[in-house]
Amino acid sequence: MSDVPAVVFEHVALAFDETVVMRDVSFSIPEGHMAILMGPSGSGKSLVLKMILGLVRPDAGAIHVHGVRIDGLSEPELMPVRDSIGMLFQEGALFDSLTVEENIGFKLKEEHRQPADVIRARVEEMLAVTGLQEFIDRSPAALSGGQRRRVAVARAMAARPRLLLLDEPTSGLDPITAKTVDAGILALRDLEHVTTLLVTHQLEDAFYMAGHEAVSTPDGIVIAPAPHRSAREVTFLVLNDGVITFDGGIDALLASTDPYISMSLSGWVPPLHA
């Protein structure tokens, strides 16, 4: 693991016409860690991910990805940066005319021109990690909502990105189904050791991610409680009203007196042993 952070925002500002979305956004995500970005709808979370990909440029400030300042790069210069990132867009759709295998292997085939047997092996690996082995030949249309999300997460990871960006991967799913998607994300984070930036406004997901880890056992992949993981490796970021209003671990989040955070947390009690 490198000491150079995977992502750094320094005093980033962004406005569309009269609408100021980011006033002064600064944060840093160490390589190998997970950051969970929360904030009200319309606060600019998806835009943070688009800026990391160089799809949206800041009006002011600097953005670094794996040590490279990317906010002034040309489209050709951005290509290796984008190549190092796996992205699951909000409402990220699968190609319904392709099978699960073709969806997950799409980038390896079309962009990386990998041989068929290499692609097949990687697709099988991704399906094993996300618990979808039996669906390799299915059409996405024949999968449940949760299974489709897991395929989309597997697709974002297939080309072995250094950085995985996930935009609300569980939105619209019921809590049980959301957990199956969370488990797939945990397995990728912990078994593939990928730096992950997860956007979610579902606190259950955020706390589940912070309090669990995936472990590979002879019986398969197991999700186990990891109560001390959060202090080491999971950072919460809250984006609100154009600035980062919170940047810290789960204990500090639970103790925060920030109005948005307290309101989100009110009525929600973290499970002790879940």
Give CA–CA dist 155/47, Å, rounded: 21
Q: Dihedrals φ, ψ of 257, to 5°? A: -105, 5
Residue nearest to Mg ion (CB): 46
Cβ proximity to ligand ADP: between 100 and 199 the closer is 199
Exactly one of 24, 26, 30, 46 binds Mg ion (CB under 5 A); that residue is 46
For residue 96, give both structure tokens.
Answer: 């319904």
**Size, binding site for ligand ADP by CB under 6 A:** 10
Cβ proximity to ligand ADP: between 85 and 159 the closer is 85
Q: Running DSSP on this structure, what letter comes out for residue 19?
A: E
Cβ proximity to ligand ADP: between 43 and 195 the closer is 43
Exactly one of 33, 34, 43, 119 binds ligand ADP (CB under 6 A); that residue is 43
Q: Within 13 Å and on the Cβ side, how many CA atoms surround 204? A: 16
Residue 16 interacts with, from Mg ion, ligand ADP, none (CB under 5-8 Å by kind)? ligand ADP
**Dihedral sign from CA coordinates of 222, 226, 231, 236:** positive
Cβ proximity to Mg ion: between 7 and 123 the closer is 7
Q: Name the strand (E) or helix (H) holding 199.
A: strand 195-199
Minimum Å distance from CB 232 to ligand ADP?
27
By the rule CB under 6 A, 172 interacts with ligand ADP: no
**55-59 long-range contacts, CB within 8 A, separation 24+:** 56/14, 58/12, 58/13, 58/14, 58/22, 59/13, 59/14, 59/15
By the rule CB under 6 A, 52 interacts with ligand ADP: no
Give CA–CA dist 13/134, Å, rounded: 46
- Listed ranges 41-49, 77-85, 113-121, 243-251: which one lies at the site for ligand ADP (CB under 6 A): 41-49
Interacting residues with ligand ADP (CB under 6 A): 16, 21, 39, 41-47
Interacting residues with Mg ion (CB under 5 A): 45-46, 90
